[in-house]
């Protein structure tokens, strides 16, 4: 789904060099058998099924907002927490489709991006332009893991306090995004200097503070403008309604708590999506990119909740970014059966969330 912008280099204890980065010899050569099998065994799995996408999105939206209303109206704290948990998980799943939108080919799912932005992206302050044009850099072979990758930080080589700070900023993302749309965006329309800052630094759901996104062009520039203006209007309406007493403060707080909870859950998923071991910040092979990523497939059941919409197959997605989420399970089954135990494919499988968190924490503790 969406990765929240985190902290500045001087706060993390990691400051990448500005000098040109030489190409290094790979630590791990590409597993050609794995790459060949991945291409050959999944050729029939690249077409998204519109029925699955629409049914999944609509069900997640209806359950999510229904549970959110129930959370606001519920009296006893136990009911509030129960409904709030349902709202968080359902809206988190709905929000995770932003990842699919960034990979869907033009024309494959007509109006899906529009409906998603109206129902999820704009209301949750994360319209799809914040991810489109940004996430694809994370998959570029020459950019993955480098300082030009918006979604990568060498967390495994950072200080221990970097992890809770990482989680804090991700969890507070809805508050920061509300500020971005309600105040920074409108002001930037009258200041070219501020506009440059807003577009390049604050228009991407990223975790790498050194990343600067390119200015939007062509049709995407229009989408960028429409979605941003829509988000500005929504943020003003929301704040204005609360200020006028139309929306109770308690309801607004509940909404923001749920929004922060789902973003915090997403940040936790992001924390274990990779091993974050490319501390050299240099280009890697496809196999190295794969090995730095993580799969948490069945029989683990809970991964479907904290890594929904195919995100439990994060390593496989890096291997096959064009396969839609509903076919990743099939692709995983085929590759698992085809490739022998010595294949790199089997080395990314994890058993669950907390062992991954513990492993990352242990590595940071070695840094003192």
- Residue-wise pLDDT for 65-103, tens only, equals 999 999 999 999 999 999 999 999 999 999 999 999 999
The answer, yes or no, to whether residue 2 has pLDDT greater than 50, is no
Tokens of 357: 């968190």
Residue 78 CA: distances (Å) to CA of 62, 73, 75, 107, 196? 22, 13, 9, 45, 46
User: Which percentage of the chain shows pLDDT scores above 70?
Assistant: 93
By C-alpha distance, which of 16, 28, 30, 25 is closest to 280? 16
pLDDT tens digits for 111-156? 999 999 999 999 999 999 999 999 999 999 999 999 999 999 999 9
Looking at the chain, list the stretches that DSSP marks H as alpha helix, in order from N- to C-terminal side: 9-12, 32-41, 50-73, 77-95, 97-101, 112-116, 135-139, 162-171, 173-179, 185-188, 192-201, 218-243, 249-271, 286-291, 303-306, 314-319, 328-338, 353-365
pLDDT at 298 (0 to 100): 95
Cα separation, 177 vs 137, in Å, equals 22
Q: pLDDT tens for residues 282-325?
A: 999 999 999 999 999 999 999 999 999 999 999 999 999 999 99
**What does the H/E/C string look like for 102-169?**
CCCCCCCCCCHHHHHHHHHHCCCCCCHHHCCCCHHHHHCCCCCCCCCCCCCCCHHHCCCCHHHHHHHH
Instruction: Summarize pLDDT for 29-69 with one digit per residue, the tens.
Output: 889 999 999 999 999 999 999 999 999 999 999 999 999 99
pLDDT at 26 (0 to 100): 59
Residue 367 pLDDT grade (very low, low, confident, very high; cuts 50, 70, 90) = confident
What pLDDT is attached to residue 29?
A: 82
- pLDDT attached to residue 106: 85
């Amino acid at each position: 789904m969406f990765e929240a912008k985190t902290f500045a280099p001087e706060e993390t204890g990691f400051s990448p060099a500005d000098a040109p980065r030489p190409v290094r010899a790979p630590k791990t050569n590409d597993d050609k058998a794995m790459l060949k099998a991945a291409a050959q065994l999944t050729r029939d799995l690249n077409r998204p099924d519109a029925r699955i996408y629409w049914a999944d999105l609509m069900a997640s939206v209806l359950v999510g907002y229904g549970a959110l209303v129930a959370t606001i109206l519920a009296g006893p704290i136990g009911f509030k927490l129960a409904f709030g948990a349902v709202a968080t998980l359902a809206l988190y799943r709905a929000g995770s489709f932003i990842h699919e939108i960034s990979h869907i080919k033009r024309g494959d799912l007509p109006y899906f991006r529009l409906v998603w932005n109206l129902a999820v992206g704009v209301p949750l302050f994360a319209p799809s332009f914040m991810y489109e044009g940004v996430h694809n850099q994370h998959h570029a072979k020459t950019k993955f893991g480098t300082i030009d990758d918006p979604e990568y930080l060498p967390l495994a080589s950072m200080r221990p306090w970097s992890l809770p700070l990482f989680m804090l900023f991700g969890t507070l993302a809805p508050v920061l995004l509300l500020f971005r749309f309600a105040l920074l965006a409108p002001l930037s329309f009258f200041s070219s200097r501020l506009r440059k800052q807003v577009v390049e630094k604050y228009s991407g759901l990223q975790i790498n503070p050194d990343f600067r996104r390119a200015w939007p062009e062509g049709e995407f520039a229009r989408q960028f403008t429409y979605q941003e203006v829509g988000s500005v209007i929504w943020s003003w309406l929301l704040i204005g309604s609360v200020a006028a007493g139309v929306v109770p403060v308690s309801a607004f707080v509940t909404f923001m708590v749920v929004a922060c909870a789902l973003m915090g859950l997403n940040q936790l998923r992001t924390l274990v999506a990779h091993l974050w071991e490319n501390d050299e910040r240099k280009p890697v092979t496809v196999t190295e990119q794969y090995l730095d990523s993580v799969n948490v497939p069945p029989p683990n059941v809970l991964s479907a909740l904290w890594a929904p919409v195919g995100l439990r197959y994060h390593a496989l997605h890096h291997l096959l970014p064009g396969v839609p989420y509903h076919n990743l399970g099939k692709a995983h089954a085929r590759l698992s059966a085809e490739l022998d135990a010595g294949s790199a494919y089997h080395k990314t499988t994890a058993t669950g969330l907390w062992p991954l968190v513990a492993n990352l924490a242990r590595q940071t503790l070695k840094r003192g």
